Amino acid sequence: MKESNFDDLDQDELYEHYKYTATHGQEPLRVDKFLMNFIENATRNKIQQAIKAGNVLVNEQTVKANYKVKPFDVVRVVLAHPPHENLLVPENIPLDIVYEDDELIVVNKPAGLVVHPGHGNYSGTLVNGLIFHFEQLPKNADNRPGLVHRIDKDTSGLLVVAKTDYSMAHLAKQFFDKKTHRLYYALVWGNVEKDEGTIEGHIGRSLKNRLQMSVYPDGEHGKPAITHYKVIERFSYVTLVECRLETGRTHQIRAHFKHIGHTLFNDERYGGNEVLKGTTFTKYKQFVENCFKVLPRQALHAKTLGFRHPITKEILHFNSELPNDITDCIEKWRHYTIHQKED
């Protein structure tokens, strides 16, 4: 079933095929010539085509063919399909299963666990754990066992996994038809002006940084994306928001909130690991850095998941409590805000 929500999520995904770090003695050399020295059987024309398509990154930035590689530059070739050697191997990875029957599984994924192999993570993923614990999981259109949707590595929270082909197709259609219920909690930089609102804008891969997604004017680039939000609590310089997804694009919440000037707290890929709001006092900077240590990843949690059971047709609804790293960070901000008002 190619026309699925999962396909919408993964169409812009890139896989690392090659990675080379220039040595300290590297003479300035065009990046296309540099890659010719490493990639067996590659023609210069094909390498230049990959560079033109934005599939060659130097220090995580796209470059032109005439870019001169310097000592310690990290050169990566990323493509839309996984490497041929990417074979799934079962691994005994503990799973936090909150629900299971003959048709499906609901998993509470911890932050730091990659959902499926890719981007240099070819083992130690949720999928490696799933195929260890469950035999004969159905494969989706991208040949990934059990997966109907996914969340980012450093996002925690709920995922539904299909155990049969029928459930795979049925659940995928629910996501595609926007009939699932998904709520995320996010801590974002700044004091969000409105108590609730909707963020709309096409999301596609950034033309400047292939590891980021950007928001574009309607129809210019990417696919339509809609995020509804509601403010839960304000802490002067950051805001806790609840997000309801109407669509499921890659990095949707992260890209949408950066677009409106409220990057997710400690979201390194989108610049949220800098002190983006607040005072210039040294103590404030130290406080924020301490928060980063408590929450060493983007502040995003897939809190609620609801869908119709493929067989019984019953509406299933699951809730995952915020993990300790997010609650500890929120508590620090709560105390800081109270003390600021008292002062």
* 92: CATH: 3.30.2350.10
Q: Are residues 304 and 315 in the same domain?
A: yes
Residue 277, C-beta contacts closer than 8 angstroms, at least 6 positions apart = 189, 190, 191, 237, 238
Question: Residue 192: its pLDDT value, please?
Answer: 97
Residues pairing with 29 in the sheet:
69
Domain edge (last residue) among 126, 157, 177? 177
Domain edge (last residue) among 114, 149, 177? 177
pLDDT over 70 percentage in the chain: 90
Give me the domain span that covers residue 35.
23-72
Mean pLDDT in residue range 278-297: 94
Q: Are residues 314 and 253 in the same domain?
A: yes
Q: Looking at the predicted structure, is the pLDDT value of residue 80 above 80?
A: no
Q: Are residues 60 and 118 in the same domain?
A: no
Q: Looking at the predicted structure, is the pLDDT value of residue 6 above 50?
A: no
Residues pairing with 159 in the sheet:
107
Q: Are residues 188 and 172 in the same domain?
A: no
Q: Looking at the predicted structure, is the pLDDT value of residue 205 above 90?
A: no
Give the pLDDT band of residue 84 (cuts 50, 70, 90): low
Residues 152, 154, 267, 325: which is the catalytic one? 152
Q: How far is CA 233 from the centre of its chain?
A: 24
Mean pLDDT in residue range 91-115: 96
Q: Looking at the predicted structure, is the pLDDT value of residue 67 above 90?
A: yes
Residues pairing with 78 in the sheet:
16
Q: Are residues 65 and 126 in the same domain?
A: no
Q: Are residues 314 and 302 in the same domain?
A: yes
User: Within a domain: residue 78?
Assistant: no
User: Within a domain: residue 221?
Assistant: yes
Q: Are residues 141 and 4 in the same domain?
A: yes
Q: Are residues 115 and 31 in the same domain?
A: no
Question: Residue 229: its pLDDT value, please?
Answer: 98
User: Within a domain: residue 77?
Assistant: no
Q: Are residues 261 and 149 in the same domain?
A: no
Residue 109, C-beta contacts closer than 8 angstroms, at least 6 positions apart = 96, 115, 126, 151, 155, 156, 157, 158, 159, 302
pLDDT over 90 percentage in the chain: 66
- State both tokens at 242: 């609840």
Residue 153, amino acid: K
Residue 293, C-beta contacts closer than 8 angstroms, at least 6 positions apart = none
Residue 193, C-beta contacts closer than 8 angstroms, at least 6 positions apart = none
Mean pLDDT in residue range 75-91: 75
Q: Are residues 336 and 305 in the same domain?
A: yes
User: Within a domain: residue 100?
Assistant: yes
Cβ atoms of 118 and 128 within 8 Å: the answer is no
Q: Looking at the predicted structure, is the pLDDT value of residue 122 above 80?
A: no
Cβ atoms of 156 and 112 within 8 Å: the answer is no
Give the pLDDT band of residue 210 (cuts 50, 70, 90): confident
**What is the rounded average pLDDT for all residues in the chain?**
89
Question: Residue 233: its pLDDT value, please?
Answer: 97
Q: Looking at the predicted structure, is the pLDDT value of residue 4 above 50?
A: no
Instruction: Please state the domain count of the chain.
Output: 3
User: What does the alpha-carbon distance between residue 129 and residue 135 come to, in Å, rounded to a whole number?
Assistant: 11
Question: Residue 188: its pLDDT value, please?
Answer: 98
Domain edge (last residue) among 121, 156, 177? 177
Residue 80, amino acid: A
Question: Residue 13: its pLDDT value, please?
Answer: 64
- State both tokens at 59: 């220090």
Distances (CA, A) of 279 to 263, 285, 286, 288, 328: 17, 8, 11, 11, 22
| Least trusted range by pLDDT, from 67-71, 145-149, 218-222, 275-279 | 218-222
Answer yes or no: 152 catalytic. Answer: yes
User: In 3-state terms, what secondary structure has residue 324?
Assistant: helix
User: In 3-state terms, what secondary structure has residue 285?
Assistant: helix
Q: Are residues 126 and 104 in the same domain?
A: yes
Distances (CA, A) of 156 to 150, 184, 218: 11, 10, 30
| Least trusted range by pLDDT, from 14-23, 62-71, 149-158, 324-333 | 14-23
User: What does the alpha-carbon distance between residue 189 and residue 270 come to, in Å, rounded to a whole number?
Assistant: 12
Question: Residue 117: its pLDDT value, please?
Answer: 77
User: Within a domain: residue 240?
Assistant: yes
Give the pLDDT band of residue 276 (cuts 50, 70, 90): very high
Residues pairing with 215 in the sheet:
203
Strands 156-162 and 300-308 come out as: parallel
Q: Are residues 66 and 129 in the same domain?
A: no
Residue 294, amino acid: V
H or E, element range at 220: none
